[in-house]
Amino acid sequence: MYQDDVKDTLRRQLDINRYQATQLGEEAVRIIRIGYYHLVDGPRIELGEKIRKSVHDTVSYPPEKLLPQTARGNHNTQIKIQNCTTLTAV
């Protein structure tokens, strides 16, 4: 029963109307373009260099291309798929 309540709460957090979704998307694009944002009562958060590095380091692998081999590490990788917002996930 408790898990169902949590799932319902998380689902409601994901439910926003088109106007809110548009506003959030436009704000995200604006922040990416200018490279920073201000916290409500805090400092300016600089993202420009991190965004440039992310774009520069992005690699695209088309379906027909094999992925490069990687060295095995000391830890097992775990992949978890959840239906939640980014803020909820962190």
Per-residue pLDDT of 45-74, as tens digits, reads 999 999 999 999 998 888 898 888 888 888
Quick one: the chain helix, strand, coil %, rounded to 5?
Answer: 50, 5, 45
Q: How far apart are CA 19 and CA 23, in angstroms?
A: 6
pLDDT (mean) for 27-40: 93
How large is the greatest C-alpha to C-alpha distance in the chain, in angstroms? 49
Answer for the pair 31, 23: CB distance below 8 angstroms, yes or no: no
Single pTM value for the model: 0.55
